């Protein structure tokens, strides 16, 4: 009798639990479930381009326009780059919709760019119906197979019941640990089919460890080396920004007095005018941090991966130094440069542990050596670039006038090439997440859509895009998106009628054989006017200040086209395959 009563009571409780659970469910299509899932993840802005295989998703989106703002770009590559710009300035996950076949393959470049530069994205691609998979159906491509090497994770959904879990998992993977892109491919029948929707955020994925616990013994060993070092040097990478560890970095540097240089993607992790900031590393970085690398007795790499553009010839890199490497991704440890003390974990956790244990110190004499290098670079490179005696405008003087106009507090977005290196050398920064550029992949065409995404992500901050005439034409159609959204993007087109960086290499290493690098350009101002975008073209130095002022005062997008010297070069420069000590000043 007792057993029966207990069973009946348990059965009643189970039924009540099931009924309660049912009240949280709602029957809906896979497409509507996608909308609900995105809302659960806090998404309010996304980029994309519709097509046949993702049409049910866009039909569902029609009913969510008050909650999900969709930006219709003019090309799928533009959609991904715009999502990257948005993610980079906000720290949120960028979201894209693309259709199957060419829609998905057009997104590949942006996905690869996001993977190399650790940008969190969730790309949703439509796919042909599951019954047609593998039949070479119209606009069918194996996007999961194509993107497997360039995503943190990808997955193909064939049943609507899989959508909530797939989306939850996608956002968790994209934003956790070392961020990156995730692709979810949804068949058309899964978009149409109905099921009982329920959403559960993902908090853990089996076999996926986004970050490891910091080893206290490694921290202690790092502290010992830091305290012993006479000529330590910190290399600051994007991991500091991605981990939100800017204040922790400043506390560490201030306490230790260590000179710090930043990578291209680490730009703005510390203010430009910070006394211990000794400049940018790399092929076109500053003279001091490059030549002093081989004089340092300790390299402290903080959230950076020793890219070849930073190291030059690895056999001749940091030849006198021990290496402490603070890194969240185990795959980066010892991949390129051997770490004497690897400190795995989130730098926001590991750096304060080190700071709490290191001795207060100053490295005034060592820092003075960097300042001496600065004087050499100032005389040989910076002054001729910013105050040229020649007639033609230089890229550097244009960049400096723009950054000064915005009181060194704008977001700078660049495309790829000479202007990219010049902009990141001469633009100044006061706050973090102020730089959006394509680093590891070096994607021409990145700049214009990324600037759009950056402005939509930070509408109250000025956004200045520096772009060359080559890269500008690769995604010039996104002027249409800027026109439609009325995004206030200031476009500074540095026009030298060349593919400038390739031309520079041809000049220096191929005896000036300018093979297929000179451009015959259209009238960019006429094109801009066709998109309803104001602007002007400047070629004389005396007109620059007034033109920059007009651009800054104009409400809305503006194209300031500046004709710069045709054969200007970017220096300093570490030739490919050379040691960082062999950096050239001319």
Catalytic, out of 76, 140, 332, 385: 76
Q: Is 188 a catalytic residue?
A: yes
Phi, psi torsion values for 241, nearest 5 degrees: -70, -45
Given strand 435-436, what is the order of strands in its sheet? 435-436, 411-414, 463-468, 489-495, 558-563, 534-538
CA 329 to chain centre: 17
Integer CA distances (angstroms), 324 to 300, 351, 563, in order: 5, 12, 45
The count of residues in the chain is 586
Catalytic, out of 7, 138, 509, 510: 138
Q: Is 455 a catalytic residue?
A: no
Phi, psi torsion values for 522, nearest 5 degrees: -80, 180
Catalytic, out of 283, 353, 444, 501: 501
Q: Is 370 a catalytic residue?
A: no
CA dist 537 and 524 (Å) reads: 9
Number of separate helices (H) and strands (E) present in the chain: 25, 20
Catalytic, out of 139, 477, 484, 525: 139
CA dist 510 and 553 (Å) reads: 44
* Both structure tokens of 361: 């110190």
Q: What is the DSSP letter of 487?
A: -
Q: Is 115 a catalytic residue?
A: no
Q: Is 139 a catalytic residue?
A: yes
Contact of 65 with 192, CB cutoff 8 Å? no
CA dist 159 and 156 (Å) reads: 9
**Residue 496 exposed, middle or buried by CB count within 10 Å (0-12, 13-18, 19+):** buried
Catalytic, out of 188, 211, 231, 490: 188
Contacts of 444 (CB under 8 A, 6+ apart): 415, 416, 417, 470, 471, 474
Active-site residue set = 76, 138-139, 188, 501
């Amino acid at each position: 009798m007792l057993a029966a009563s207990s069973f009946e009571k348990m059965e009643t409780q189970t039924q009540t639990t099931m009924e309660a659970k049912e009240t949280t469910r709602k029957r809906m299509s896979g497409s509507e479930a996608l909308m609900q899932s995105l809302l659960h993840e806090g998404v309010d802005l996304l980029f994309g381009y519709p097509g046949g295989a993702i049409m049910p998703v866009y039909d569902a989106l029609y009913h969510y326009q008050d909650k999900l703002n969709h930006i219709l770009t003019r090309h799928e590559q533009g959609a991904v780059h715009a999502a990257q710009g948005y993610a980079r300035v906000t720290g949120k996950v960028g979201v894209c919709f693309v259709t199957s076949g060419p829609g998905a393959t057009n997104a590949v470049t942006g996905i690869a760019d996001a993977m190399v530069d650790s940008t969190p994205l969730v790309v949703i691609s439509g796919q042909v119906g599951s019954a047609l998979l593998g039949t070479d159906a119209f606009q069918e491509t194996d996007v999961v197979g194509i993107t497997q090497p360039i995503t943190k994770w990808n997955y193909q959904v064939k049943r609507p019941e899989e959508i909530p879990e797939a989306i939850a998992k996608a956002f968790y993977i994209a934003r956790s640990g070392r961020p990156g892109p995730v692709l979810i491919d949804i068949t058309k029948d899964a978009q149409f089919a109905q099921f009982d929707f329920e959403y559960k955020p993902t908090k853990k994925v089996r076999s996926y460890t986004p970050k490891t616990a910091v080893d206290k013994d490694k921290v202690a060993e790092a502290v010992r080396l830091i305290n012993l070092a006479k000529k330590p040097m910190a290399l600051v990478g994007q991991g500091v920004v991605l981990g939100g560890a800017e204040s922790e970095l400043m506390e560490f540097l201030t306490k230790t007095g260590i000179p710090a240089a930043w990578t291209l993607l680490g730009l703005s992790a510390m203010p430009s005018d910070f006394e211990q900031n000794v400049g940018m590393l790399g092929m076109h970085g500053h003279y001091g941090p490059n030549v002093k690398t081989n004089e340092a007795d300790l390299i402290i790499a903080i959230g950076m991966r020793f890219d070849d553009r930073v190291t030059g010839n690895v056999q001749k890199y940091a030849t006198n130094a021990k290496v402490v490497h603070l890194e969240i991704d185990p795959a980066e440890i010892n991949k390129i440069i051997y770490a004497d003390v690897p400190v795995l974990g989130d730098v926001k956790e590991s750096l304060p542990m080190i700071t709490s244990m290191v001795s207060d110190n100053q490295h005034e004499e060592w820092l003075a050596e960097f300042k001496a290098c600065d004087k050499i670079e100032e005389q040989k490179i910076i002054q001729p670039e910013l105050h040229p005696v020649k007639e033609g405008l230089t890229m550097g003087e244009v960049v400096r006038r723009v950054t000064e106009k915005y009181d060194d507090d704008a977001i700078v977005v660049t495309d790829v090439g000479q202007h990219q290196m010049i902009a990141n050398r001469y633009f100044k920064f006061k706050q973090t997440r102020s730089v959006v550029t394509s680093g590891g992949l070096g994607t021409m065409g990145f700049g214009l859509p990324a600037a759009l995404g950056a402005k939509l992500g930070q509408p109250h901050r000025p956004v200045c895009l520096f772009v060359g005439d080559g890269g500008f034409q690769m995604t010039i159609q996104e002027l249409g998106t800027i026109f439609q959204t009325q995004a206030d993007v200031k476009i500074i087109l540095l026009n030298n009628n060349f593919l400038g960086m390739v031309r520079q290499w041809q000049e220096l290493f191929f005896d000036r054989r300018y093979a297929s690098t000179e451009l015959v350009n259209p009238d960019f101002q006429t094109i801009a006017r066709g998109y309803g975008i104001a602007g002007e073209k400047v070629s004389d130095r005396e007109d620059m200040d007034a033109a920059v002022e007009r651009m800054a005062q104009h409400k809305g997008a503006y194209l300031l086209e500046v004709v710069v010297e045709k054969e200007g070069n970017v220096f300093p420069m570490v030739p490919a395959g050379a040691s960082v000590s062999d950096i050239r000043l001319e």
